[in-house]
Amino acid sequence: MNFYRNVVAIQHPISAERQTAKRHYGVHPYFTRRPFNVVRDYILHYSRPGDRVIDPFGGSGVTAIEAFLENRIGVHNDLNPLANFIASGIAGLAKGNLSDYRDALAAMESACSGILFEIEKSGDDELDRYQKQFRLPKNVVLPANSDVTLLYDLFEPKQLAALAVIREQVARISNKYARNAMLLAFSATLAKLNRTFLSAEGRLASRGGSSIFSIYRYKVAKKPVRLPLWPTFRERAMNVLAAKAEVDQTIEHKRQSSAGWHGEFHAYDRDVLELPQVLGRTADYIFTDPPYGGHIAYLDLSTMWNAWLGILPTPSRAKHEIIVGGDRKHADQAYTERLGSSIRACLDLLKPDRWLSVVFQHWNTSYFQTILTSAADSGADLRAAVPQVGDPIWSMHKKKGSASVLAGELILSFFNTGRAVKYELGQKFDLESELYQLLREMHEPLYGEALFNRIVLRAWHKGAINSLGISKSDFAQMLLDMGWQYDQRSHFWVTTHRARRLI
């Protein structure tokens, strides 16, 4: 009996538990980190222990880390050095002893907490001295849309001096596993000790956030929050220790079970299009989450970390990023073509009779068309499209109440049949009547994205995805014309009396 052929595709959304895994939540921020429990459930469903699970757009490593902890061979890949640093850093917590990690933090505390308290009270002259004494990273140019031009401008002089002190102490830790863990804590501290960090009124200062993760830009806060230097690092380091304890426990639990422990983790830093050459057709399951158009310029936004960690990508590497816009001004057409090629690359990595899950969301229907046609051309049959609504990219824009920003995404699961799958294009699609039909089937409260996803899939199944061509504003206008209203607070679309009559 073929396990993979008999798998019945997951058809229902899985509610996200973002904050329950210490290994992903609180160790180090990254952009659009997928909820670990959703990823883990997909891995458990579509693969078996010992299988090779690959994520070509791995980001912070959720897929490969969960695969590794579930006794699979987790293979992570990302073009962004920061992504690989985080993913390998978290997976690396499986190595070494917790007591060595604790000792390293204690040694750091005695070596630098005093200096950091001194820095807190220092005047400009003394700060100058600290900055000269401890090595700073290269003062690189920030992305063009930043509020400030150079890396150092992102920091108060005290923050710059403190970070240089911490960085140097980390380098002195002799146990290499403990050193890597403290480097992870240092890098996570960067997200908090800089001038983009602000706090919402009435909230605890340390509970604030950085504009890098809310509006995806280096925007210097009008009233930046100055978090205390040593306690901020210490808090990050404690989170890393908690993550280490959790990883150790998970592995120990597996070791004591009848299955034993044989998970593996491997990381690559390739352009996704090069991966088939490097890895061959070795994947038993792929779960991946490609960049969504121009929403997030990953490499640009990672400049602060990549510069401090000394891992800036070379220009020839960075130009392979699959994105619209960014500092390299990648064109929409190039993005679409490379998105299609990346899906084909995934299928070149995947063994026949295996599954591929792709997470995606965008208001541009041609991106969906590219994913679906490239997959079908390469032998992948779409078996499920699950809207993970309520698992949104809750950006600041959304919080400000724009109906057009993304909330929720679609998980498309394909079965690799090994031969091209037939599909049609060019059929007619009566958008208005399809929309009415869907509105009758769907329940309130209604997310615009969920409805949009259903429309896209209906158009695909009816061979009409290329005639859909609807923009997010047309879509919102149609709903308004049908008597629906967008609720700015809840971000749901709600019916009015007029809409009920029309339906």
Rule CB under 6 A: choose which of 65, 83, 173, 185 binds ligand SAM: 83
The reply to whether 291 sits near ligand SAM by the rule CB under 6 A is yes
Find the part of the chain contacting ligand SAM (CB under 6 A) among 53-61, 100-108, 149-157, 251-259. Answer: 53-61
Of the candidates 302, 303, 182, the one whose C-alpha atom is nearest the C-alpha of residue 241 is: 182
Q: Which region holds residue 426: left if phi is over 0, alpha if psi is between -120 and 50, else beta?
A: left
Which of residues 60 and 374 has its CB atom nearest to ligand SAM in the complex? 60
Of the candidates 72, 65, 66, 63, the one whose C-alpha atom is nearest the C-alpha of residue 92 is: 65
Rule CB under 6 A: choose which of 22, 76, 167, 320 binds ligand SAM: 320
The reply to whether 411 sits near ligand SAM by the rule CB under 6 A is no
Rule CB under 6 A: choose which of 28, 33, 234, 236 binds ligand SAM: 33
Which two tokens mark 73?
């061979």
The reply to whether 30 sits near ligand SAM by the rule CB under 6 A is yes
Residue 489 Cβ vs ligand SAM, minimum distance, rounded to whole Å: 27
**Within positions 293 to 312, which residues make up the interface with ligand SAM, using CB under 6 A?**
298
The reply to whether 70 sits near ligand SAM by the rule CB under 6 A is no
The reply to whether 340 sits near ligand SAM by the rule CB under 6 A is no
Residues in contact with 148: Cβ distance below 8 Å, sequence separation at least 6, in sequence order: 142, 154, 195, 218, 220
Q: Report yes or no: 225 and 217 within 8 Å, Cβ to Cβ.
A: no
Concatenate the DSSP letters of all residues of 202-243 into one string: TS-GGG-EEHHHHTSS-PPPSS-----HHHHHHHHHHHHHHH
Find the part of the chain contacting ligand SAM (CB under 6 A) among 52-60, 165-173, 175-183, 226-234. Answer: 52-60
Which of residues 18 and 462 has its CB atom nearest to ligand SAM in the complex? 18
Tokens 């709600």 label which residue? 494
The reply to whether 34 sits near ligand SAM by the rule CB under 6 A is yes
DSSP-derived letter for residue 411 is: E
Question: What is the Cα–Cα distance from 163 to 253, expressed in whole angstroms?
Answer: 37
Which of residues 78 and 391 has its CB atom nearest to ligand SAM in the complex? 78
Question: What is the Cα–Cα distance from 287 to 301, expressed in whole angstroms?
Answer: 24
Tokens 């990648």 label which residue? 330
Residue 308 Cβ vs ligand SAM, minimum distance, rounded to whole Å: 18
The reply to whether 79 sits near ligand SAM by the rule CB under 6 A is yes
Find the part of the chain contacting ligand SAM (CB under 6 A) among 57-65, 212-220, 343-351, 381-389. Answer: 57-65
**Within positions 235 to 274, which residues make up the interface with ligand SAM, using CB under 6 A?**
271-272
Q: Report yes or no: 244 and 200 within 8 Å, Cβ to Cβ.
A: no
Which of residues 220 and 273 has its CB atom nearest to ligand SAM in the complex? 273
Question: What is the Cα–Cα distance from 17 to 275, expressed in whole angstroms?
Answer: 31
Rule CB under 6 A: choose which of 14, 29, 32, 460 binds ligand SAM: 32
DSSP-derived letter for residue 12 is: S
Tell how far CA 329 is from the center of its chain. Answer: 21
Rule CB under 6 A: choose which of 4, 42, 46, 57 binds ligand SAM: 57
Which of residues 322 and 468 has its CB atom nearest to ligand SAM in the complex? 322
The reply to whether 40 sits near ligand SAM by the rule CB under 6 A is no
Find the part of the chain contacting ligand SAM (CB under 6 A) among 3-11, 226-234, 317-325, 462-470. Answer: 317-325
DSSP-derived letter for residue 56 is: T
Which of residues 80 and 374 has its CB atom nearest to ligand SAM in the complex? 80
Q: What is the 3-state secondary structure (H, E, C) of 439-464?
A: HHHCCCCECHHHHHHHHHHHHHHCCC
Q: Report yes or no: 309 and 84 within 8 Å, Cβ to Cβ.
A: no
Query: Interface with ligand SAM by CB under 6 A: which residues?
Result: 30, 32-34, 57, 59-60, 62, 77-80, 83, 271-272, 289-291, 298, 320-322
